[in-house]
């Protein structure tokens, strides 16, 4: 099969969990990577080495362990910066996950000042924040809170029946009133890849701030923050073979400099007096308290692993497997995929579907009994489900370690599900 | 560490009784009259139930005259709603609450509790669900909704 | 020496880093535990086991790995709840560190509504927030931001020359205008143990919300949240032999229920529609996005480790070592300890001091050349340093693995520092 | 992974020249006249410097007529301030900025850069500091303050 990672079996050996067996001796078929990815041994080992030999607090410590820990932590920042093509390492802020990164922007915008002449300013009645109907809840709720709190208005792009952004009313959505446009690069439910650079260009014409949720993009495809057109771009460590507890916010210096502080505390300050404080420059301004140190170290190792595999090849693998999966799923009677299925259209690796007559929970349960791990529910994208008139769906999501045989196992398990629930042909 | 169970237990989960209730839910639909209506959601999966209760006065306190509902959900949650309606309709509220408690105990028992068929009737088919932690919430959704609605009526009239 | 942990040498073997050697073959003498603690093998192993065998996202996943990960994560919540005597596990919120936990309260209070009849309400001009001059920056800056943003006034307890809270003007500080009292239980600079229960009692008389920063208390002494009198109590994982990337906010249900949401996103919601959302109950309401899963698992293992040692014995050890250190430091000419030194007064294990004629940086540097790791600077407590008329200080901080021999090594290294900088007797 | 160095290197850090400047800092104190005053802080440790620059016009552009300061800090930061004042006072701004750049290069060179004594004079004693990442900030504090203050004056007059 063309496009698969060479040495796929060797790559799989890097991931200890993939050789696990489940109840009843079933081998694990992990198709829930859009939820969280598995971790290669090198990431785990790097974290263990850090904890066993170099653990200390960073920045504050003047001793050898402190210097080692600080160096490891700041090296991780360099790795992230180069992985996403950030013009400056200082523009890379470590957060706890993508959700915190998105909230950081939305929460501080409630207190921002200025006239938006350089894409940051104060929000009020008449100002608009524009999102899309396919966002993850983490890119919806923060903007609902912001607009409720400032009196601004929340608007959104709708979706076409094919699961793409409905750009037909672009001109009425992106207007002089638009202050912020926040959208996902790749949908975690539909797999849709949005034209972020094009939308960013339009948004910048009206002076709006562009926030890109790259949580599903960074794991799957080469990402260059400058080419993306984003002013702010976020992603989360655990979806790109890194640990939990770490996310990344990249922002253009000019934007980050203008945003007021988010969390106050240790390390984000310049001078603290009881009467008032001054704040450090970026990145520290947004990293209050002890940062996720071992997590940053783990993320650094994760991105090095992806870099060494080559993001072009990871992307090609994802596309090949996704295509193979779409073909396989098309053979299951009564199965309907939501999102792009046209082979000519680029799409991400998350495939959500309905199966006539069986509820997603029940599908996932039967699949699980055969070792096939998928997700059932609304995948934190309830509005997109509502758009397609469903309460929930079943989602399979592959990653760089997924094999065609695992897709076969999924398709067989779906056939078995149909027979278990006695559905006819 | 695991308490979830594998394929061989699938039949323990999907008992015939459950599948029957799923295919032909009893007392489904929203009906008048009612004193309280509630809407409950399982935030993880989006399953929802809108549920009404109609209580009347009986010789020994209020009686569950009717429970009607509109529910979207998986086989377990749908069947559980149907069984629940069967079990509580016509019972004094006090007795119905005791049945609710018994069902809760069964569901939270991690598969260690032996259910009393005289009390739970078709509800005993859910004994297997207790071994699937992720599904316990499904089985409890409408029971919680019923309790909530009933409490609302009792408070109003108190 | 009385009070030391029995089997101290065996305990030390639990911590792999303690057998590390530094440059020049120097053994490590780690006296920077108030900054961050070292991790026992059992914590590292539990995290590795989780990553290698049970990694999945929590709550959302319906498959076996997901059930295992969720169970491990929620078990950690149970462990925390029982470790701090929380009346309900739902009152335990996982944050990324103590700083985030304090900011969560201060940030959401900016949007809170109500009349303070049950200790939460809206803040404005005339309302007062009361802190102390010995707080860590993470318990100062959030309240500065809150009061600046709401028009409320920030006030604070001063300190006595002995490094204790100056309670002489308690009656003029805690008044009908006081809405929030936030203070540290144990000072990370002075080692002072504050009478939190007594201050909480006074604060509750005027209906104020009491927030206790237990970052230095939880690692060192038995903590019971109910007995503390706190409405909200926070601590951080990495200081109690757990990993970075995880902190804890405990709050009384009534308080947490009234606070508006903090971060919006996945898992903190009940139903999301584009037009508006409803929120989940606690703890999920405050845990947006993928939580620090492996970090919670590590923290659970850490608290189990402390529980098995016995917090009474950990406290006794800390006190014995601290007393021994105070005695040793008293023999160094020109050395002045800031904070309580009276043997009759209970104190924490952080000891900050000045040494005539040598700057703290230079002390730390010379100590480091002998393998002795201490902290130099203001330890994120600049106002307390200003109170004592100094820019910075040197701080040694011991923990359950600290031996009297390590204190001897510190004292010798200080003598060496004096001779290196040619200070006379 | 470690780049910090142990005890045997202590003397490489604390050169006699550094300790001499520390004990007897040159040009210390705040003086008039001046065109710009800045206040810089090392947030990690709290070291501070208040620094003034006084520029005058020379034949080939502005000249650093005086640098005066009030500084609190460790031996490295104090000595560095003293050496910096020695090096830049009396020099054309352009030349002083070039010296600043040389010192910066030395400090960021992780101990691999060989300093030019003709340019940096006593400043070469800081070569050892470059091997101690945590101390580089100390050595640069007042140099950064000087550059900042000088830039302020140049902007004003531009
Ligand atoms: C008393 C006190 N409060 C708060 C903190 C902040 O903890 P963290 O940096 O983990 O957020 C610390 C430690 O740095 C501390 O000692
Ligand atoms: C598109 C998208 N955005 C945001 C998130 C939130 O990431 P996290 O849960 O790590 O904060 C996710 C994953 O859950 C996602 O798929």
Q: What percent of chain B has pLDDT over 90?
A: 80
* A29-59 core/surface letters (b: 16 or more CB in 10 A; e: else): bbbbbbbbbbbbebbbebbbbbbbebbbbbb
Chain C neighbors of D76, CB-CB under 8 A = 361-362
Banded pLDDT at D133 (limits 50, 70, 90): confident
The DSSP H or E segment spanning A232 is strand A232-236
Cβ-contact C355, C394 below 8 angstroms: yes
Residue D9 has pLDDT above 90, yes or no: no
Say what the pLDDT of residue B5 is: 42
Q: Which two tokens mark C264?
A: 């919006």
Q: Which atom of ligand 1 is nearest to the CA of C184?
A: 1
C361–D76: do the CB atoms touch at under 8 Å?
Answer: yes
Distance between CA atoms of residues A65 and C35, nearest Å: 12
Residue with tokens 């500065």: C144
Banded pLDDT at A6 (limits 50, 70, 90): very high
What is the mean pLDDT of the segment spanning B137-153? 96
* D64-99 core/surface letters (b: 16 or more CB in 10 A; e: else): bbbbbbebebbbbbbbbbbbbbbbbbeebbebbbeb
Ligand nearest to the CA of C289: 2
Distance between CA atoms of residues D158 and D154, nearest Å: 6
B7–A382: do the CB atoms touch at under 8 Å?
Answer: no
A271–D43: do the CB atoms touch at under 8 Å?
Answer: yes
Bigger pLDDT: A27 or A423? A27
First-to-last alpha carbon distance for chain A, in angstroms, is 30
A413 HSE (CA, 13 A, CB side): 25
Distance between CA atoms of residues C366 and C362, nearest Å: 6
Say what the pLDDT of residue B43 is: 81
Distance between CA atoms of residues D50 and D39, nearest Å: 4
Cβ-contact A299, A242 below 8 angstroms: yes
Distance between CA atoms of residues B47 and B77, nearest Å: 8
C38–A48: do the CB atoms touch at under 8 Å?
Answer: no
Q: Which range among A32-36, A343-347, C50-54, C125-129 shows the weakest confidence by mean pLDDT? A: A343-347
Distance between CA atoms of residues B157 and A358, nearest Å: 41
Which residues lie with the beta carbon below 6 Å from any ligand 1 atom? A 266, 289-290; C 97-99, 136, 138-139, 184, 188, 213, 215-216, 236, 238, 247, 380
Summarised one tens digit per residue, pLDDT across range A159-172 is 999 999 999 999 99
Q: How far does D23 lie from chain C, in Å, by closest CA?
A: 10
| A179 Rama class: left (phi>0) / alpha (psi -120 to 50) / beta | alpha
- pTM (predicted TM-score): 0.96
ipTM of this complex prediction, to 2 decimal places:
0.94
Say what the pLDDT of residue D136 is: 92
C270–B41: do the CB atoms touch at under 8 Å?
Answer: yes
Mean pLDDT of chain A: 97
Cβ-contact A410, A372 below 8 angstroms: yes
Distance between CA atoms of residues A326 and A4, nearest Å: 16
Summarised one tens digit per residue, pLDDT across range C89-103 is 999 999 999 999 999
The chain B residue lying nearest A385, using CA atoms, is B46
Cβ-contact A272, C141 below 8 angstroms: yes
Is it true that the peptide bond before C127 is cis, omega within 30 degrees of 0?
no
Residue ranges in chain C modelled with pLDDT below 70: 60-61, 425
Cβ-contact B131, B5 below 8 angstroms: yes
* Radius of gyration for chain A, computed over Cα atoms and rounded to the nearest angstrom: 22
Which residues lie with the beta carbon below 6 Å from any ligand 2 atom? A 97-99, 136, 138-139, 184, 188, 213, 215-216, 236, 238, 247, 380; C 266, 289-290
What is the mean pLDDT of the segment spanning B139-149? 97
Cβ-contact C361, D76 below 8 angstroms: yes
Distance between CA atoms of residues C296 and C67, nearest Å: 15
Q: Cα angle at C396 between C393 and C400, to 5 degrees? A: 155
Cβ-contact D53, D153 below 8 angstroms: yes
Summarised one tens digit per residue, pLDDT across range A218-249 is 999 999 999 999 999 999 999 999 999 999 99
Q: How far does D37 lie from chain C, in Å, by closest CA?
A: 21
Q: Cα angle at A46 between A71 and C75, to 5 degrees? A: 115
Q: Which two tokens mark C400?
A: 């359950």
Q: Which two tokens mark C300?
A: 């659970």
Summarised one tens digit per residue, pLDDT across range A367-415 is 999 999 999 999 999 999 999 999 999 999 999 999 999 999 999 999 9
Helices (H), A331-425: 360-369, 382-387, 404-420
Cβ-contact A293, A59 below 8 angstroms: no
CA D95 to chain CA mean position, Å? 14
Distance between CA atoms of residues D81 and D97, nearest Å: 15
Say what the pLDDT of residue B6 is: 43
Nearest Cα residue to C171 out of C141, C206, C144: C206
Mean pLDDT of chain B: 91
| D120 secondary structure, DSSP code | H
Q: Is C380 a catalytic residue?
A: yes
Distance between CA atoms of residues D98 and D106, nearest Å: 12
Distance between CA atoms of residues C284 and C91, nearest Å: 10
Cβ-contact B77, B142 below 8 angstroms: yes
CA separation (Å) from C172 to A390, C148, C155? 60, 22, 11
**What's C321-350 look like in SS3?**
HHHHHHHHHHCCCCEEEECCCCCCCCECCE
Residue B142 has pLDDT above 50, yes or no: yes
Residue with tokens 């086989």: B75
Q: How many residues does chain D have?
A: 158
Q: Which two tokens mark C86?
A: 């929380």
Backbone angles phi, psi at C294, to 5 degrees: -65, -25
Q: Cα angle at C362 between C357 and C365, to 5 degrees? A: 150
Distance between CA atoms of residues B97 and B102, nearest Å: 9
If one residue of A35, A94, A98 were mutated to test the ligand 2 pocket, choosing by the most ligand atoms within 8 A of its CB, it would be A98
Distance between CA atoms of residues D44 and D41, nearest Å: 9
Distance between CA atoms of residues A294 and A300, nearest Å: 10
The count of other CB atoms within 10 Å of the CB of residue A190 is: 29
Cβ-contact D129, D13 below 8 angstroms: yes
The chain B residue lying nearest C66, using CA atoms, is B134
Q: Which two tokens mark A30?
A: 């992990």
Q: Which of A345, A380, A390, A423 is catalytic?
A: A380
Summarised one tens digit per residue, pLDDT across range B33-84 is 999 999 999 887 788 999 999 999 999 899 999 999 999 999 999 999 999 9
What is the mean pLDDT of the segment spanning A357-362? 95
Distance between CA atoms of residues B34 and C194, nearest Å: 57
Helix axes C311-330, C404-420, angle to 10 degrees: 30
Distance between CA atoms of residues A133 and D74, nearest Å: 57
| Chains with 3 or more CB pairs under 8 A to chain D | A, C
Return the bridge partners of A352, or none. Answer: A338, A395
The two most distant CA atoms of chain D are separated, in Å, by 51
Residue with tokens 């005053």: D37
What is the mean pLDDT of the segment spanning A278-295? 97
Q: Which atom of ligand 1 is nearest to the CA of C239?
A: 10
Q: How far does A351 lie from chain B, in Å, by closest CA?
A: 17
Summarised one tens digit per residue, pLDDT across range D32-60 is 999 999 999 988 778 899 999 999 999 98
Banded pLDDT at D1 (limits 50, 70, 90): very low
Say what the pLDDT of residue C60 is: 67
* A267-298 core/surface letters (b: 16 or more CB in 10 A; e: else): bbbebbebeebebbebbbbbbbbbbbbbbbbb
Q: Which range among A92-101, B130-139, C16-25, C261-270 shows the weakest confidence by mean pLDDT? A: B130-139
Say what the pLDDT of residue D83 is: 98
From start to end of chain D, where are the E strands?
A: 36-41, 48-58, 61-72
The DSSP H or E segment spanning B44 is none
């Amino acid at each position: 099969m063309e496009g698969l990672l060479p040495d796929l079996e060797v790559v799989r050996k890097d991931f200890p969990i993939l050789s696990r067996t489940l109840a009843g001796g079933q081998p694990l078929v992990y198709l829930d990577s859009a939820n969280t990815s598995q971790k290669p041994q090198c990431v785990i080992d790097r974290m263990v080495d850090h904890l066993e030999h170099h653990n200390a607090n960073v920045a504050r410590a003047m001793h050898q362990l402190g210097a080692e820990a600080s160096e490891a932590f700041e090296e991780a920042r360099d790795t992230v910066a180069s992985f996403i093509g950030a013009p400056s390492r200082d523009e890379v802020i470590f957060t706890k996950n993508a959700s915190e990164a998105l909230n950081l922007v939305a929460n501080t915008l409630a207190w921002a000042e200025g006239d938006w002449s350089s894409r940051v300013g104060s929000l009020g009645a008449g100002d608009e924040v524009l999102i899309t109907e396919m966002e993850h809840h983490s890119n919806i709720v923060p903007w609902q809170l912001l607009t409720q709190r400032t009196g601004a208005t929340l608007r959104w792009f709708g979706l076409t029946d094919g699961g793409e952004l409905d750009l037909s009313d672009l001109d009425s959505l992106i207007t002089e009133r638009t202050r912020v446009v926040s959208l996902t690069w790749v949908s975690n439910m539909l797999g849709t890849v949005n034209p972020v650079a094009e939308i960013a260009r339009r948004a910048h014409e009206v002076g709006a701030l562009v926030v890109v949720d790259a949580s599903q993009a960074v794991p799957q495809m080469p990402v260059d923050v400058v080419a993306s057109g984003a002013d702010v771009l976020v992603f989360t460590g655990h979806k790109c073979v890194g640990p939990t507890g770490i996310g990344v916010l990249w922002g253009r210096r000019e934007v980050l400099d203008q945003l007021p502080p988010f969390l106050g505390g240790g390390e984000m300050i310049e001078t603290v007096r009881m009467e008032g404080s001054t704040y450090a420059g970026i990145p520290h301004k947004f990293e209050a308290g002890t940062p996720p140190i071992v997590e940053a170290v783990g993320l650094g190792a994760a991105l090095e692993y992806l870099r060494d595999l080559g993001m072009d090849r990871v992307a090609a693998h994802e596309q090949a497997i996704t295509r193979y999966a779409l073909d396989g799923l098309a053979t299951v009677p009564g199965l309907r995929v939501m999102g792009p299925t046209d082979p000519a259209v680029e799409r991400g690796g998350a495939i959500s579907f309905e199966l006539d007559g069986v509820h997603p929970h029940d599908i996932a349960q039967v699949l699980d009994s055969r070792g096939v791990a998928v997700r059932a529910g609304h995948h934190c994208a309830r509005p997109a489900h509502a758009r397609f008139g469903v309460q929930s769906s079943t989602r399979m999501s592959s990653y760089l370690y997924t094999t065609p045989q695992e897709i076969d196992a999924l398709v067989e398990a779906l056939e078995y599900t149909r027979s278990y629930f006695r559905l006819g042909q | 560490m695991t308490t979830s169970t594998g394929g061989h237990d699938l039949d323990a989960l999907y008992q015939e009784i459950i599948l029957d209730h799923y295919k032909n839910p009893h007392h489904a639909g929203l009906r008048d009259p009612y004193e309280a209506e509630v809407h409950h959601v399982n935030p993880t999966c989006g399953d929802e139930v809108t549920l009404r209760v109609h209580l009347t006065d009986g010789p020994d306190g209020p009686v569950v005259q009717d429970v009607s509902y509109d529910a979207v959900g998986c086989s377990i949650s749908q069947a559980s709603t149907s069984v629940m309606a069967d079990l509580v309709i016509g019972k004094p509220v006090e007795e119905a609450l005791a049945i609710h408690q018994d069902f809760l105990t069964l569901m939270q028992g991690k598969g260690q509790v032996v259910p009393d068929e005289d009390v739970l009737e078709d509800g005993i088919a859910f004994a297997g669900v207790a071994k699937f932690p992720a599904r316990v919430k499904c089985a409890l959704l409408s029971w919680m909704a019923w309790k909530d609605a009933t409490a609302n009526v009792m408070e109003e009239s108190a």
